[in-house]
Structure 1
Amino acid sequence: MSSSRWAGSITKSTHDQWALARRGLAAYLQNLDAGVAMVRRRLALPIGEKGSRGEPGGYRSRQEWHAKSRRLAVLEHRRQAAGADWQAGRVRVVRGGKRLANTRHHLDTAQLTAQQWRERWNAARMFLSADGEAGKRYGNETIRVTPDGQVSLKLPAPLAHLANSPHGRYTLTCVVAFPHRGDEWSDRIETNAAVAYTIHHDPDRDRWYVTAAWQRKDPVTVPLDAALASGCIGVDTNDDHLAAWRLDPHGNPVGEPRRFCYNLSGDAEHRDAQIRHALTRLLHWTRRTGVDAVAVEDLDFSDSKTREKHGRKKRFRNVISRFPTARLRARLISMAAEAGITVVAVDPAYTSRWGAEHWRKPMTTPTRNTTRHDAASIVIGRRAQGYPARRRTSPPPHHQSDGAGHRNVQAGQDTTGREEPRRHDTGPHHQGVSPDADRKRATSAPNTVRDARTGQDSLLLSV
C-alpha cells in the first residue's frame, strides 16, 4: 500500500542497517580468531617462560594456565555460534538501539521513568527519511523543502485523505532553516539537485529537527610536491588529544606546538561530535597558517585490541581500544576535502621513539616543555616530506669539512647558519639507520597520489 518512494527509502535503510551489522559481525569474528590463536599459543608455552619482543610468553602460574584453558573453551564456543550466523547470513538488529533497549531494565540507574524511556524509544524507532531525486522539484519529491523553509510531505495512498495541500501533500505550518552550509543547500535546491532529508524528534527538548544531506563530487587530485610546497602540519594521534606542529618546506618546526583535546567517553554521538570538533579546530588552524597538507599516522589496532594478547595490561588495552583510528581517518578525509587540504598518511613505526630521541630535548626551552607527543608530530611531518627523523646526517667520510656535501639535509642554499659546525650532542644516539623515507610516504583519499609502502599507484578511496 505504500508508494514506491517511501518503499525505496525503507528498503535502503534496511539494507544499510543489515550491512552495518554484517560488518560488525565480521569484526567480532576477527577479534575472536585473534583471541583464540593467542590463547592457544600461550597455553602451548611452558609456564613462566618469558616472551619475545612483541609477543607475550607463557602464563605465570598453573592457576592462570587452568583459567585460560577454560577461557579458550568459551571463546571457541562463541566463535562457533558467530560463525554459524555468518554462514547463514543472519544478523541481529535492534531498531532503536540495543543499549536503549537494555536501559528499560535499569531505569533507576539511568534515572529515567517508564514514560521518559518510552518517549525516547518511540523517537529512536521512528522512521521519517527520504533520499534525494535529481531533476525533481527542489531535489526531493517525498520530503520537499522550499527555499523559504516550508516543509511538505508526499503522503502514501492509505493516508491521502489527511492531505492539506494539492496532489496528496501534507504541508507543515512551521518553517525550517539551515544555519550550517545554508548557502550551499540553497544553491542545490535552486538547480533541483538531489538532497536527502531526515526528520527526527528530540524527546528531551521536545523539538523536531530536519537534517539535509547530499553527496559531492570527488575533489581534484593534488600532486604531493605541490601540496607540500608550503610545508605541512604533523599530527600525532592519541587517545585524548591531537598533538600538532607546523613544519616549513625544509622540515624545520615553526612556532609553537598545538594540542586539540577530545573526550571519548559517553555514547557514540558524543564521541563522534568530540572528534568532529577537534578536527574542525585542527583544519581551521591549518588554513590560518597557510599550509595545504596535514600528515597523520596510518594507524590500525584491529589485531591488537584482544585482551588475550596484552594480559593484565588493562590500562594499555583501554588506551588502544579508545583510539578512534577508523572514525578519525574517515572524518579527517571528508572534512579536509571540504577545506581543500591534502591528507598525507605515513608509516607510524617508531615515530614516538625517534621523536623523543632526536627532537624532544632540542625543542624544549625554559618557557616550553616539549612532550613526547609533540616531538612525534615533528617526525610524522618530516616523514611525509621525505626527510629522515634525524635533523642532521653523519659527517662526510673522508674528512670533517663539507667537501662531500652539507650535513644539514633540509637546509636550503640561502639558509642562515647552514655552514656552522655540528651542534653538541643533545641526547642518546643509536646506530640504527632510519627506514627509507621515500618508501614511507603515502597520501590518503581523496588527495591520493601514490602509495609509498608498495611503490605502486594507489586507488582513490570513496568517502
Structure 2
Amino acid sequence: MRGESLRTIAAPFVALGPAGVAIRTRIKDLTPDDDTVLRLVGAHLGSLASKDLKRRCAEGLEHSTDTWAGRKRALTDTSSSRWAGSITKASHDQWALSRRAQLAHIHSLEAGIKTITSRLSLPVGEKGSKRAPGGYRTRQEWFQKSRRLRLLKDRLERERADHDRGRVRVVRGGKRLLNTRHHLDAAQLTEHAWRRRWEAERWFLQADGESGKRFGNETIRVTPDGEISLKLPAPLAHLANAPHGRYVLAATAVFHHRSEEWADRITTNRAVAYRIHYDVQRGRWYLTASWTIPPVTTVPLSHARAGGLISVDTNADHLAAWRLDQHGNPVGEPRRFFYDLSGTADHRDAQVRHALIRLLHWAKRHSLSIAVEDLDFSAEKTREKHGRQKRFRQVISGMPVSRLRARLVSMAAELGITIIAVDPAYTSRWGAQHWQKPLTHTTRKTSRHDAAGIAIGRRALGHRIRRRTAPPPHDQSDRMGHRTAQAAHGTPGREESRPRIPGPRTRSVSPDAARTRETSASTTVRDAPVDQDWVQDSLLLTD
C-alpha cells in the first residue's frame, strides 16, 4: 500500500432500526361475486391512477399544493375523496422515486464517461495498477470505446436536460413486463397470459390509513374478526351489499405474523394502510397491512462493543462470520452461512432469510452485536470500471446487498440485536495481508473472506486492522522470534521486553520452589562420617 493515496475511512456507527412494518396474508374462500367486484374496482381505480400519474409527470417541477388539490378534486367525482387522496399520493411517490433513479443514472453515466476518457488518453497496451485502469489492449478496442464515449455523452446530455425540466419516464406495470410483450416465446407466455399479468399489475387497490377513524382505515376496513370491506367508487356503488356504499367480502383475513400488534392498532383506531393485490401465476388474492413505528432507540456504540461482537463479511454465496472479543482477537472457529441465489425471486429471498436467521440466532445465544459492511455497489458494477471482468460484474450485480441489509436490520430489531455498520474500504485486502496466514494451520484453512470478517470486526471495535507490529529482530526479547501477543493501541509499554516472572518455567515444580529450595547436607548412609556413633533418641512419653 506504499505510494498509494488512501481514501478517508468513515467511522463505524450503529444502524437505525426499521421505520415501518408490513404483514401479508392470503384472502381465502372468495366467492365469484367477490372476485368480480375486486377486479372491477381494481381496473376502474387503476385507470384513474394512470391518468393522474400522467398529469403529475406533465407538471414536473411546477407541482404545488394547489395543483395537488386540483388533481384530487378531479378524481373525487369518479371515485371518492379518500380513494382520490390515495391515488394522488401514490402518483407523487412514484414521481419522486423516478426522480431519484434518474439522478442515480446521471451519476452512473458521469462515472462511465470519466473512466473511458481516462483510458482513451493513455497509450494503447499500457498496463494499469490496482487503483487505476490502464489503456485499452488493442487499437480496435480503443476505437469502439471512443464511439461508446460519444454515445454516453449524448445520453448524459439528454438525461440532464430531462432532469432540469423535471421530466421522468414511468411505466405503470413495469418496464420489464412491458418489454416482455415483444419476447413472448422467450418468456414462454401467450398473448392472453401476458395480458392478464399486465392488467393485474396496473390495478389499484390500496388505501392509506387514518388515525381516529374506525379500525384505522375508512376505505379498506378490516375488523378484529377478519371481516374485509371496502368503499366502492361512485360508478360502482350499485354493487354494494352493505350500507353507505360498502362491499363486504365473504372471505376473512387472518394475520399469523404480528397479529397481536396489528389487533392493538385497529382496536385503538390507529392508522393502518392496506393493499389488495392479485397473483396471476398462482391465482390468489393477498392482503398486505402496513403501518409506521416509532424509531427504535439505538444503544451507544460503546455499549454495543462491550464484550466483543460477531463480524460478518458479505459474499455472493455465503456470509463469512467470526466472533471477536473486545480486544479484537478471534474466538473459536469461523462460521459460514450459505445461500443459493439461483432460481426464482421467492427462492432467493427465502435463501437470504434463512441464512440471516441462523446468523441472528447465533448472535442471540451469545448476546453479541453484529458488525457488517455498509456496502453500496450502485457505482461499482459498470463495465467501464471493470472492463473485461464480466464474471466479476455479474457477481457484484447479483449480490443482494440492499435486500440483505434491510432484512438484517428489521430482523435484528425484533431480537434486540444491535447492528454496527462499517466502512468497507480495504477490509478484504488488509484482512488477507495481516490475518489470513497467521490463522491458518494444519486443521484450519482460513479463507480470504474469513480474514476480511476479522478486519470488519476490528474496525467496528475501534482497533487497527493490522496485527501488532514486531520490533527489529535484534531488539526482540525472544531473539529473532515473532511476537503474536495483542496489545491495544496506545497501551504504555506494549513494545517493551516481557517482564521476568520469578520461579521455574515448568508446571512440574511449584512456583515457590525457587524460594524454598536450599542446599542441605546429604542424608545418605554412604556419605555419613565413619567415626559417628549411633545413638537412639529418647522417646517422648505421653500419658
TM-score range, shorter chain: 0.7 to 0.9
Q: Partners of 1:333 and 1:103 in 2: how far apart?
A: 34
Corresponding residue for 2:429? 353
Q: Residue 384 in 1 paired to residue 431 in 2?
A: no
Match of 2:117 among 25, 40, 45: 40
Distance 1:267 1:5, change over 3 A: farther
Q: Residue 322 in 1 paired to residue 434 in 2?
A: no
Residue 382 of structure 1: CA displacement?
1.6
Match of 1:336 among 401, 412, 422: 412
Residue 120 of structure 1: CA displacement?
1.5
Q: Partners of 2:100 and 2:336 in 1: how far apart?
A: 33
Tell me, what secondary structure is at the counterpart of 2:421?
A: strand
Residue 324 of structure 1: CA displacement?
3.7
Residue 268 of structure 1: CA displacement?
6.1
Distance 1:342 1:122, change over 3 A: same
Q: How many residues align?
A: 412
Tell me, what secondary structure is at the counterpart of 2:419?
A: strand
Paired amino acid for 1:133: E
Correspondence list, 1:62-211, <5 A: 62-211=139-288
Corresponding residue for 1:424? none
Q: Partners of 2:350 and 2:98 in 1: how far apart?
A: 22
Residue 264 of structure 1: CA displacement?
4.2
Residue 236 of structure 1: CA displacement?
0.6
Residue 196 of structure 1: CA displacement?
0.9
What is the aligned-residue identity percentage?
67
Tell me, what secondary structure is at the counterpart of 2:179?
A: helix
On the 8 A contact 1:394/1:407 being kept in 2, the answer is no
Q: Partners of 1:83 and 1:277 in 2: how far apart?
A: 42
Residue 222 of structure 1: CA displacement?
0.8
On the 8 A contact 1:295/1:384 being kept in 2, the answer is yes
Distance 1:398 1:255, change over 3 A: closer
Tell me, what secondary structure is at the counterpart of 2:454?
A: helix
Residue 333 of structure 1: CA displacement?
3.1
Q: Partners of 1:157 and 1:354 in 2: how far apart?
A: 66
Tell me, what secondary structure is at the counterpart of 1:179?
A: coil
Residue 88 of structure 1: CA displacement?
1.9
Paired amino acid for 1:343: I
Residue 282 of structure 1: CA displacement?
2.5
Distance 1:280 1:193, change over 3 A: farther
Tell me, what secondary structure is at the counterpart of 2:185?
A: helix
Structure of greater Rg: 2
Residue 201 of structure 1: CA displacement?
0.8
Distance 1:263 1:14, change over 3 A: farther
TM-align CA RMSD: 2.9
Distance 1:5 1:273, change over 3 A: farther
Q: Partners of 1:268 and 1:27 in 2: how far apart?
A: 24
Q: Partners of 1:365 and 1:381 in 2: how far apart?
A: 22
On the 8 A contact 1:393/1:409 being kept in 2, the answer is no
Q: Partners of 1:20 and 1:230 in 2: how far apart?
A: 41
Q: Partners of 1:131 and 1:281 in 2: how far apart?
A: 35
Deviations 1:223-257 (A, max 9, x none): 11111223211011112222111222232323332
Corresponding residue for 1:425? none
Which segment drifts farther, 207-216 or 335-344?
335-344
Distance 1:103 1:206, change over 3 A: same
Residue 371 of structure 1: CA displacement?
1.5
Residue 263 of structure 1: CA displacement?
4.0
Residue 172 of structure 1: CA displacement?
0.4
Corresponding residue for 1:461? none
Corresponding residue for 2:310? 233
Paired amino acid for 2:437: K
Structure-1-length-normalised TM-score? 0.81
Tell me, what secondary structure is at the counterpart of 2:110?
A: helix
Corresponding residue for 2:53? none
Tell me, what secondary structure is at the counterpart of 2:292?
A: coil
Deviations 1:80-125 (A, max 9, x none): 2222221221111111111111212222221222222222122211
Paired amino acid for 2:255: F
Paired amino acid for 2:208: D
Q: Residue 296 in 1 paired to residue 372 in 2?
A: yes
Tell me, what secondary structure is at the counterpart of 2:244?
A: helix
Distance 1:308 1:390, change over 3 A: closer
Gap regions ≥5 residues in structure 1: 413-418, 422-463
Structure-2-length-normalised TM-score? 0.70
Residue 197 of structure 1: CA displacement?
0.7
Tell me, what secondary structure is at the counterpart of 2:97?
A: helix
Residue 190 of structure 1: CA displacement?
1.8
Deviations 1:314-342 (A, max 9, x none): 12222333344444334433333333222
Corresponding residue for 1:448? none
Tell me, what secondary structure is at the counterpart of 1:317?
A: helix
Match of 1:308 among 371, 380, 384: 384
Tell me, what secondary structure is at the counterpart of 1:193?
A: coil
Residue 407 of structure 1: CA displacement?
4.9
Residue 78 of structure 1: CA displacement?
1.5
Q: Partners of 1:207 and 1:384 in 2: how far apart?
A: 45
